């Protein structure tokens, strides 16, 4: 295990006049380059935990280690300039232009003007906003999604190693949120920042997290693990209840078509006439086959009965293949594709449309069942 970048050691936060501490003896290590999601019911102390890291809240006891140094008592402002911070309401400065907003931390760090200007344009491009259009606009001229992008760009201003994000996509409509999440994951694949991400939405946690910490009252860690482990092997009843009934279905978004063994269906390749096709299916002892064209692109499902009952050419026998999957598609996509076909089967093709095999509802079910059993033994 790599040296943690952020390490909370035995951190407690209690408020005067409140008997129970808000965060109680928390130990949490964040590894470099990961997205660690803190998720839990409201009031569990997940935001407090996040704000303890950049010392927006001062811990009552315990230590905060950042990059190997104890920063529990260091200058908090200096610490915060080394960590990007994104909150749900974003909090762009309304009296400053987009460029000035993004330049906030570089300016505090007294970067030369030219370097700041270049950095601003670079960041705007990173979050896919045209600098020549948006540089000199004001926050009031932005849509919610754009403001969120600028918020992320501002947090990345001085290229910090760490991003702290408190429900960053919480106030955005579902469609835009989905797009921003995907964009952000693509961005993270390049930037490889260390990210602590707070959300109350388990679906978002599963989607965004390399690891997920499920928190209960007083920020006690109920389970901390990779999303697929948490979904298939919840530590206790609390986690199970928090995951909700759809936990197994959620694992489908984590696996891809390439993770399952494809069924080698019998294929019949054009040019071929019906007699030949029937003979081939007979030898293979099957009633259904996939008809391919000369370039191995799947064309139609053909079956024995259809071939026998009509005399029309092969091009019109059976049913056309309308839905195709690719190895990168998630198993959730696969499931919905299969449910659209009456056979419970879907063909899988590679990037150029060539036939690879078939994916059946049985193999999917087998995978899910195995997963459930397998994890109990391990």
Partner 1 sequence: MDGIVNWWDYLSSRWDLVGATLMETIIYVVTVTVSAGVLAIVTGILTRNRPFAKEMSLAIASVFLTIPSLALFTIFIPLVGLGFAPSFIALFLYAILPILRNTVTGLDSVDPSVLESARGMGLTKSQVLLQVQLPLAWPVMLAGIRVAALLTVGISAIATLVAGGGLGDFIKSGLARLPLPNSLEAIWTGVILSLALAFTIDVLLRLLGRVTTPAGVR
- Residues lying near partner 1 in the complex (CB under 8 A) are found at 54, 56, 76-81, 85, 87-97, 104-105, 108, 138-140, 151, 154-155, 157, 164
Please report how close the Cβ of residue 62 comes to partner 1 at its closest, in angstroms. Answer: 21
Angle, helices 174-191 vs 144-155, to 10°: value is 20
Q: How far apart are CA 10 and CA 139, in angstroms?
A: 40
Tokens of residue 63, six digits: 């230590």
- Pick 85 or 238: Cβ nearer partner 1: 85
* CB 197, min distance to partner 1, A: 15
Given the complex with partner 1, which of 157 and 318 has the nearer CB atom? 157
CA distance 196 to 30: 8
Q: 6, 26 in Cβ contact below 8 A?
A: no
| Residue 86 β-bridge partners | 165
Please identify, using beta-carbon distances, which residue of 137 and 211 lies nearer to partner 1.
Answer: 137
Unique residue bearing structure tokens 């293979």: 284
When the beta carbons of 79 and 205 are compared against partner 1, the nearer one is: 79
- Residues with Cβ within 8 Å of 192's Cβ and at least 6 positions away in sequence, in order, are 33
**Phi, psi (5° rounding) for residue 377?**
-80, -30
Q: Smallest distance from the beta carbon of 212 to partner 1, in angstroms?
A: 23
Q: Is residue 292 within 8 Å of 298, Cβ to Cβ?
A: yes
Give the residue with the Cβ less far from partner 1, 158 or 291: 158
Residue ranges of E strands in the chain: 6-13, 23-30, 35-39, 61-66, 69-70, 83-87, 162-166, 194-199, 211-216, 220-225, 267-269, 288-292, 298-303, 319-320, 324-325, 345-349, 355-360
Which residues 6+ apart lie within 8 Å of 118 measured at CB? none
Report the candidate in 109, 111, 186, 118 with the shortest Cα–Cα distance to residue 152: 186
Tell me the closest approach of the beta carbon of residue 77 to partner 1, in angstroms: 4
Least Cβ distance, residue 180 to partner 1 (angstroms): 18
Cβ closer to partner 1: 88 or 223? 88
Distance CA 159, CA 70 (A): 22
Report the residue number, 92 or 198, with the smaller CB distance to partner 1: 92
Residue 90 or 302 having the CB closest to partner 1:
90
Strand, coil or helix: 16: coil
**Minimum Å distance from CB 128 to partner 1?**
22
DSSP 256: B
**Minimum Å distance from CB 319 to partner 1?**
55
Q: Quick count: other Cβ atoms within 10 Å of Cβ 17?
A: 5
Q: Closer to partner 1 at the Cβ: 106 or 234?
A: 106
Shortest approach of partner 1 to residue 72 CB, angstroms? 17
**CA within 13 Å, CB half, 64:** 23
**What is the closest distance, in whole angstroms, from the C-beta atom of residue 91 to partner 1 in the complex?**
3
> Shortest gap between Cβ of 74 and partner 1 (angstroms)?
12
Between 171 and 247, name the residue whose CB sits nearer to partner 1. 171
């Amino acid at each position: 295990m790599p040296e943690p970048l952020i390490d909370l050691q035995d951190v407690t936060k209690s408020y005067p006049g409140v008997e129970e501490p808000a965060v109680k003896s928390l130990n949490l290590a964040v590894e470099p380059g990961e997205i660690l999601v803190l998720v839990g019911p409201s009031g569990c102390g997940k935001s407090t935990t996040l704000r303890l890291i950049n010392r927006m809240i001062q811990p009552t006891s315990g230590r905060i280690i950042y990059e190997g140094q104890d920063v529990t008592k260091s200058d908090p402002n200096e610490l915060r300039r080394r960590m990007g911070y994104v909150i749900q309401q974003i909090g762009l400065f309304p009296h400053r232009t987009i460029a000035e907003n993004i330049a906030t931390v570089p300016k505090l760090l007294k970067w030369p003007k030219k370097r700041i200007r270049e950095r601003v344009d670079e960041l705007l491009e990173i979050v896919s906003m045209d600098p020549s259009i948006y540089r000199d606009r004001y926050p009031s001229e932005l849509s919610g999604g754009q403001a969120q992008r600028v918020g992320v760009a501002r947090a990345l201003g001085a290229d910090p190693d760490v991003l702290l994000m408190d429900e960053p996509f919480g106030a955005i409509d579902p469609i835009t949120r989905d797009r921003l999440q995907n964009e952000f994951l693509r961005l993270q694949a390049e930037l490889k920042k260390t990210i602590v991400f707070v959300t109350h939405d388990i679906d978002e946690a599963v989607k965004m997290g390399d690891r997920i910490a499920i928190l209960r009252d007083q920020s006690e860690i109920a389970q901390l693990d990779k999303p697929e482990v948490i979904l298939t092997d919840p530590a206790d009843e609390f986690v199970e209840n928090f995951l909700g009934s759809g936990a197994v279905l959620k694992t489908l978004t984590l696996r891809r078509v390439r993770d399952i063994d494809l069924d080698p269906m019998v294929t019949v390749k054009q040019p071929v006439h019906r007699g030949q096709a029937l003979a081939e299916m007979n030898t293979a002892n099957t009633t259904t086959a996939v008809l391919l064209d000369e370039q191995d692109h799947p064309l139609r499902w053909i079956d024995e009965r259809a071939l026998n009952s009509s005399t029309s050419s092969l091009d019109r026998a059976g049913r056309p293949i309308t839905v195709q999957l690719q190895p990168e598609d998630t198993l959730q996509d696969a499931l919905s594709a299969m449910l659209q076909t009456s056979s419970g089967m879907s063909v899988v093709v590679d990037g150029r449309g060539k036939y690879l095999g078939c994916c059946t509802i049985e193999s999917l079910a087998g995978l899910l069942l195995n997963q459930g059993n397998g994890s109990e033994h391990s």
